[in-house]
Amino acid sequence: MRLHIAVAMPEKGGRPSVVATEVFRGPDVGGRRRWYYEVGYVERVADQTVQGARDAVTATATKLLDVRPCVFVDIGVPQGYALKRSFRAEWPETQLHIPHAYQRLKMETALFATFLEAYADGRVTFLDDVQHRKDVDKALILYRGGSTSKAAEEMSSEDEGLVSALCLSLMWPSHGPDPRRLLEEEEPEGDTAMRAAIREMTEKN
């Protein structure tokens, strides 16, 4: 099982976001590997401090030690950089390697585009009981191709962090323990309503 946990801090205040996604290996297409994703956990951490985010991620990863999850930290904002450094003192290194850092600001468009491509193909699904699903839908639909809109619909820093954590959980799909494999008839069906909304949003940009 290949499980990725991603965390992002909001730059202008608000709840940090933690997202856990399982990566599946689908049937190869044209000799290329094809990845599928199932978002199974979304948390908006009540404690808005770096320590609160660190403790939430550590608690989640510790509960999942048996599947050896990989953790990714968005260091595109100062709070995220501080979070990455804070793991040095509080991390079960004997069971898990230290969290990876991702500099979102250098590749923000690629980060969001990776999610959009996979979602449009029906390769991203959500477990039925995922918390904050409506928040995820809203944040994704308002997100403007990797940058924050300055118009009236400008998303909050909190929602921007939620999108960053979600997209980051899909990056580096080849990294981690052996993934579960999908047969062609097992390919998951995506949420057509949200996919349609995202497609409409991207066509306008």
Residue 8's DSSP bridge partners are 17
User: 2-204, what's its fold?
Assistant: Nucleotidyltransferase; domain 5 (3.30.420)
Give the model's pLDDT for residue 4.
94
**Neighbour tally for 106: CB within 10 Å:** 10
Q: How far apart are CA 118 and CA 12, in angstroms?
A: 29
In the predicted model, is pLDDT for residue 150 greater than 60?
no
Q: What is the pLDDT of residues 40-98, one digit of tens each?
A: 899 999 999 999 999 999 888 888 888 889 999 998 888 999 999 988 877 766 677 88
- Report the C-alpha gap between 194 and 199 in whole angstroms: 9
pLDDT tens-digit map of 87-142: 887 776 667 788 888 876 666 778 888 888 899 888 999 988 888 988 898 888 87
- Count CA within 13 A, CB hemisphere, residue 66: 1
Domains of the chain, residue spans: 2-204
